[in-house]
Amino acid sequence: MATTIAGPEATQADIEQVRRAYGLDRPLAVQLADWAGHAVRGDFGESFYFKKDVSSLIVERMPTTFRLGVFGMLVGLALALPLGILAALYEGRFIDRAIQLLISANQAVPSFWLALMLIIVFGVHLGWLPTTGADSWRHFIMPTLVLGLSVLPALARLARSGMIKALASDYVRTARAKGLSSFSIIVKHALRNAAIPIVAIAAVQFGNALGGSVVIESVFALHGVGHLAWESIIKSDVAVIQASVLMFSIIYVVITFISDVMNAMLDPRIRLS
């Protein structure tokens, strides 16, 4: 790291000076304890590549990543739930098999390849959408679609299995015997119970979406935390990498906690300790 900061033309004396300036000459345990103490106060040091405070870099770029993650999850859920419900209603029939084939095909396509294809078709050839930047909502259409499709398979499969189990339950049979409409049975009875595992897996998929934002933001040149992490990895900017990983981890823990609370609200049998 000291060699990278000092530059390719640096002498050994310059490298040693950098090591002392950044505290790299101290034991690793001492460095870690010092970093943790500052991190608790929100001080992640200064980026040697961007020449800015790391905390300010994260704060500047977090809104872009957050918007991308939230919009991507909403798109994923908006596509996965209808597909999963439809497949469950036609379990074992042509529609079910067609949907499962479509989901498997989607899962087999790498996100970066899909992103490049969308850029070539809708950005370059047709010119309908901007290919880079984050100046308007139109810049988020393609990245959001790619991220939404990346989380779709797990959500759709879980929605299908949850709905199949719910539709075969006693309370659904009772609702049918009472003469309730199919819409009421699906939405008010079956989907409510099938939503419990979907909420849990959605939190996991949101974490995966944050990790996937590194690739997607880099392809579409969205200046979010994912793109920041990618630039920092290339430049070996350890301070920014550490802060980015910590921020992603904190967000993941918070989202997981929220999903537990939502599950408790959906299912009274779940008790929070």
DSSP characters for 54-109? HHHHHHHHHHHHHHHHHHHHHHHHHHHHHHHHHHHHTTTSHHHHHHHHHHHHHHHS
Average pLDDT of the residues in 159-176: 80
The two tokens of residue 181 are 């409409």
Mean of the per-residue pLDDT values for the chain? 79
Cβ atoms 228, 244 nearer than 8 A: yes
Q: Calculate ∠ Cα 186-183-270, nearest 5°.
A: 30
pLDDT, one tens digit per residue, over 47-97 is 777 778 888 888 888 888 888 888 888 998 899 988 988 898 888 899 999
Alpha-carbon span 110 to 87, nearest angstrom? 24
pLDDT of 9 > 60? The answer is no
Question: Residues of CATH 1.10.3720.10 domain(s) within the chain?
Answer: 56-266
Beta bridge partners of 46: 53
Alpha-carbon span 48 to 239, nearest angstrom? 8
- CATH assignment, 56-266: 1.10.3720.10
CB neighbours of residue 258 within 10 Å? 13
Query: pTM (2 decimals)?
Result: 0.75
